């Protein structure tokens, strides 16, 4: 499990540790880790041209101390301050003492640039002086961000205006949520964690890895039969959109439930059966429902009355009543994309896109449900536990019908007994992995994602 911590939490842990250690110990640890990563990225440290972009705070201090270490190994190190009057004094003395120099402009050529402009003390978008330095980063240089790419909000991943685009981010003490959540995540490149000895409480965000997902996958035992493994009911599709039902069933059949039941118009049921003859047709007991696309209100209301877990997606999300959801006794899982989330919150779509973390938290609070917010870095939040950030997926997943496969899959996992947050995050993980496999660099369609799910499932289980 990759865990991430808010700035407030990291600061508190740092204060607690700093009080017990000689002054400067943590910054030395951070700088040593940063310098080691930089050295590993260079073919040769001796003679390498390294540029440090140095901000006014301790993030700049990290860059200066790391630069001093690299200068001692024979690199040519140039520090370019954002504000010449404000540089970490100890770091500056160390760099100059090691033979580094300070320049007022970014050199035209560099092998490696360290972004030490802003760390967890950065607020808002980069101010003009910082943005001007970032614009001058020489093309072809490897960019290494200290702690986080400057301009990325550490707590949320939000980017307002200019931000550094790093190849590698060397982060200190703990991952920050903004390194896992887009748009920040896509600015961070490969993220490396340097342990500086912090003791941390419960995380604010977490990203499942293969082993975590493997531990959550439902496994049939010797005594299992199709009913004990769970039946998932799919209430989706209309004469106009029969495909949504077929795709949701396609996802559900690969999600670990023992059987999939389809409830809907006869013509749609026939389309489902033509593709998947193993589907049960018509009403009956289920362990979880998926209420999805192409629906009228009455069908949704009926399903929400059933005291079993219910996943609500697409058209099913329209005009949802928060009070009605809060009154439910069984778990509810909502799976909106940004547009649907915006409608549920009564805000603009851009607001959701720019503030994905705040939006998913607000939705979970307002509707008393687990919410899976689809998009670049899908988020899952149940209002209490850490937000789950999905690390798999590919931009090719932005294709018609892929959401129907996801809702069928997540519903199937709910029917198999997983909690709302587990079903949602396992489904998002497998779905993203299947899409990567199916796409491998070329366009894909939703059915291929469903067909790649068993391979993704096996991948996850392979140690
Ligand atoms: N506290 C600690 O124990 C440790 C801190 N470390 C480093 O210290 C960093 C935090 O240092 P600071 O608290 O000094 O904060 P930062 O160095 O992140 O930045 C704060 C400074 O930047 C300015 N600033 C804020 N937003 C700006 C913007 N949008 N544009 C331009 N300037 C802006 C502020 O006026 C302030 O002077 C961490 O990210 C990490 O790199 C590490 O050395 C590890 C140990
Ligand atoms: K930085």
Ligand 1: distance of its center to the CA of 421 in Å? 34
183/325 same-domain check: no
Torsion of CA 231, 459, 428, 411, to 10 degrees: 0
Token representation of residue 156: 């949320």
Q: Which helix (H) or strand (E) holds 463?
A: none
Ligand 1, CB cutoff 6 Å, lining residues = 14, 18, 26-27, 30, 55-60, 62, 118-124, 126-127, 130, 146-147, 172, 196
- Of all protein residues, the one whose alpha carbon is nearest to atom 28 of ligand 1 is 126
Give the pLDDT of residue 239: 81
> Given strand 379-381, what is the order of strands in its sheet?
2-4, 205-207, 387-389, 379-381, 370-373, 332-334, 310-312, 288-291, 231-235, 259-262, 280-281
Lowest mean pLDDT across 166-180, 235-249, 354-368: 235-249
Q: Which domain holds residue 170?
A: 2-205
Ligand-binding annotation for 150, yes or no, is: yes
Taking residues 199-217, what's their average pLDDT? Answer: 96
199/219 same-domain check: no
Ligand 2: distance of its center to the CA of 27 in Å? 14
> How do residues 324-334 score in pLDDT, each as one tens digit?
999 999 999 99
Ligand-binding annotation for 50, yes or no, is: no
Mean pLDDT over the full length of the chain:
95
> Given strand 101-102, what is the order of strands in its sheet?
101-102, 76-81, 49-54, 112-116, 142-146, 168-172, 190-194
Task: Say which CATH number the domain at 103 has.
Answer: 3.40.50.10260
318/238 same-domain check: yes
Taking residues 408-419, what's their average pLDDT? Answer: 97
Q: How confident is the model at residue 441 (pLDDT cuts 50, 70, 90)?
A: confident
Give the pLDDT of residue 227: 77
Q: Please identify, among 205, 234, 268, the residue that sits at the C-terminal boundary of a domain.
A: 205
Number of structural domains the chain divides into: 2
Task: Say which CATH number the domain at 294 has.
Answer: 3.40.1190.20
pTM of the shown model = 0.91
- Of all protein residues, the one whose alpha carbon is nearest to atom 2 of ligand 1 is 14
95/37 same-domain check: yes
Token representation of residue 56: 């006014």
Given a cut of 90, whether residue 407 has pLDDT beyond it is yes
Ligand-binding annotation for 186, yes or no, is: no
ipTM exceeding 0.95? Answer: yes
Q: Give me the sign of the Cα torsion angle 431, 272, 231, 364.
A: positive
Taking residues 382-407, what's their average pLDDT? Answer: 93
Ligand 2: distance of its center to the CA of 152 in Å? 9
Candidates 56, 106, 59; CA nearest to 79 is 106
User: Could you give the CA distance from residue 99 to residue 71 in angstroms, rounded to a whole number?
Assistant: 6
> How do residues 2-42 score in pLDDT, each as one tens digit?
999 999 999 999 999 999 999 999 999 999 999 999 999 99
Q: Quick one: which atom of ligand 1 is closest to the CA of 123? A: 26
Q: Please identify, among 205, 223, 250, the residue that sits at the C-terminal boundary of a domain.
A: 205
Ligand 2: distance of its center to the CA of 457 in Å? 37
280/201 same-domain check: no
Question: Is 206 in a helix, a strand, or coil?
Answer: strand
> How do residues 56-115 score in pLDDT, each as one tens digit?
999 999 999 999 999 999 999 999 999 999 999 999 999 999 999 999 999 999 999 999
303/450 same-domain check: yes
Ligand-binding annotation for 58, yes or no, is: yes
β-bridge pairing 2-4 and 205-207 = antiparallel
């Amino acid at each position: 499990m990759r865990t991430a911590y808010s700035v407030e939490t990291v600061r508190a842990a740092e204060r607690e540790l700093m009080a017990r250690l000689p002054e400067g110990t943590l910054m030395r640890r951070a700088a040593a880790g940063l310098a080691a990563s930089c050295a590993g990225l260079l073919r040769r440290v001796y003679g390498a041209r390294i540029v440090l972009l140095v901000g006014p705070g301790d993030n700049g201090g990290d860059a200066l101390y790391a630069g001093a270490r690299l200068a001692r190994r024979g690199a040519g190190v140039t520090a370019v301050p954002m504000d010449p009057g404000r540089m970490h004094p100890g770091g500056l003395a160390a760099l100059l003492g090691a033979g580094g120099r300070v320049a007022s402009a970014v050199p035209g050529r560099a092998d490696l640039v360290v972004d030490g402009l802003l760390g967890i003390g950065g607020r808002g978008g980069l101010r003009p002086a910082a943005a001007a330095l970032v614009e001058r980063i020489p093309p072809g240089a490897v960019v290494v961000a200290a702690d986080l790419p400057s301009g990325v909000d550490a707590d949320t991943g939000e980017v307002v205006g200019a931000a550094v685009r790093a190849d590698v981010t060397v982060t200190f003490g703990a991952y920050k949520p903004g390194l896992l959540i887009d748009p920040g995540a896509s600015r961070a490149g490969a993220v490396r964690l340097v342990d500086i000895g912090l003791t941390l409480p419960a995380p604010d965000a977490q990203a499942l890895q293969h082993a975590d997902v493997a531990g959550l996958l439902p496994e049939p035992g010797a005594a299992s039969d199709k009913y004990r493994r769970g039946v998932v009911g799919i209430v989706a599709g209309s004469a106009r959109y029969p495909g949504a039902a077929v795709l949701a069933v396609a996802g559900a059949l690969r999600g670990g439930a023992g059987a999939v039941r389809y409830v809907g118009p006869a013509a749609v049921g026939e389309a489902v059966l033509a593709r998947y003859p193993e589907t049960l047709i018509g009403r009956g007991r289920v362990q979880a429902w998926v209420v999805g696309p192409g629906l009228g209100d009455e069908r949704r209301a009926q399903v929400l009355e059933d005291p079993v877990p219910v996943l609500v997606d697409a058209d099913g999300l329209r005009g949802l009543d928060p009070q009605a959801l809060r009154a439910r006794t069984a778990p509810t899982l909502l799976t909106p994309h940004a547009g649907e989330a915006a409608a549920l919150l009564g805000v603009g779509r851009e607001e959701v896109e720019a503030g994905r973390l705040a939006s998913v938290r607000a939705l979970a609070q307002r509707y008393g449900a687990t919410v899976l917010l689809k998009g670049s870095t899908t988020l899952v939040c149940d209002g209490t536990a850490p937000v789950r950030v999905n690390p798999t997926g590919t931009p090719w997943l932005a294709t018609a019908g892929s959401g129907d496969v996801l809702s069928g899959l997540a519903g199937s996992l709910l029917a198999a007994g997983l909690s709302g947050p587990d079903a949602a995050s396992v489904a998002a993980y497998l779905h993203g992995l299947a899409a990567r496999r199916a796409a491998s660099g070329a366009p894909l369609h939703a059915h291929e994602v469903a067909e790649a799910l068993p391979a993704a499932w096996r991948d996850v289980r392979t140690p």
